[in-house]
Chains A and B, each alone.
Chain A
């Protein structure tokens, strides 16, 4: 757990001081990617709780989810379909679902 938090902090510091900035035009895509990544991480957490954690699935899911989400939103933008909100809704719902499940497991373990 601690190494995960530590690397999160390292990443945060790197992001804060990185000399690159995402152009405003891509801010929307970036936020979708972020949400997808968050979803993957919570999904991984949940899998770990269920003791079904698979490293390959986790890693591949993390990146393909983010990239696919970005790709879909990008294509949707060009086709005039606002997939952005769909992605937000889908990922958001899943994050909350995963959180609920994680909570249940947590209480079953410790309560």
Chain B
């Protein structure tokens, strides 16, 4: 693991995203339209459970949309080029970190949009800080789990459809914990209760990143 190389790879990712602005814009537009559809469907009135569930579903699909890009945009030539230059472990770490950063920004943005459109009434009785932490931990957690899945799907040469099939059951423990943590935050549970789930989200993140770090070199190599 070389921090300099990871930094370099992060800069490459950023430059690619700046180069392909339409892709970033696509992710943002997706979130905005999903929130708007939710707003129309709920007629602006959503009570706690539905409010929470809807938000996580929007975030889940936004995560699939965004993280699929992390490997799918790479063609065979680019892959070969990176392969000759960089250590696979640095590549996966850089992509997980970049994905986590993107997801962090995206989830905070979705949350802001969501509150703007659907109101914050369900949060009034609860703990907003807890909810925000759940949103951030959940958002980055999606990146931790789905980056390797995105890599597998892109190596299988079968785009976004396969990623959804492979990713959905794997992301389920994380998603259910996040929904639960959000629910507990909304009903105003003390930190000792919600904290257990927030910590648990962190543990899943660590396990997923560690596994990705160990397994990715086998995936990267193309004999």
Tell whether A and B belong to one assembly.
no
